[in-house]
Amino acid sequence: MSRYTSLYTDEDVSTLVATLLRARGLDVATVPEQATLGKTDIEQLEIAISLGRCIITHNRVDFERLHLRFIESNQAHCGIIIVPQKNAYEVAQRVGILVSALPIENINNQLLYA
């Protein structure tokens, strides 16, 4: 079992990011693979939770709001990583560094910026 958190890329994140993260040995699921294209942000977060995965997104404003909503209502999630919309290699590098630096318990229920 991996010591790294499992990840789920939002549909705004390139599938190349998932490929690059997998090459680093990370466990990544994508929206297309889960057949969840077109779901709302809250639905994507709930899917990530049901899969036990931290969601990666470029959508800062909406996911900051969702995180606050979860905190205020004492709901748990597996983490939200917000990363600027850069090229896939930079996104994967930023996420890979963050995930490898933090134990799973420091990612759960957190809003993180890569």
Amino acid found at 100: S
Question: What are the structural domains, with CATH classification, of the chain?
Answer: 7-113 (3.40.50)
Cα separation, 53 vs 46, whole angstroms: 10
pTM: 0.94
Say how many Å lie between the first and final Cα of the chain, rounded.
Answer: 24
Residues 39-58: tens digit of each pLDDT: 999 999 999 999 999 999 99
Cα separation, 43 vs 66, whole angstroms: 11
Mean pLDDT of 98-103: 92
Helix, strand, or coil (residue 111): strand
The pLDDT of residue 104 is 87
Cα separation, 9 vs 15, whole angstroms: 8
Q: Which residue has the tokens 């590098």?
A: 93
What's the longest Cα–Cα distance across the chain? 37
| Sign of the CA dihedral running 38, 17, 30, 72 | negative
Mean pLDDT, the chain, whole residue set: 94
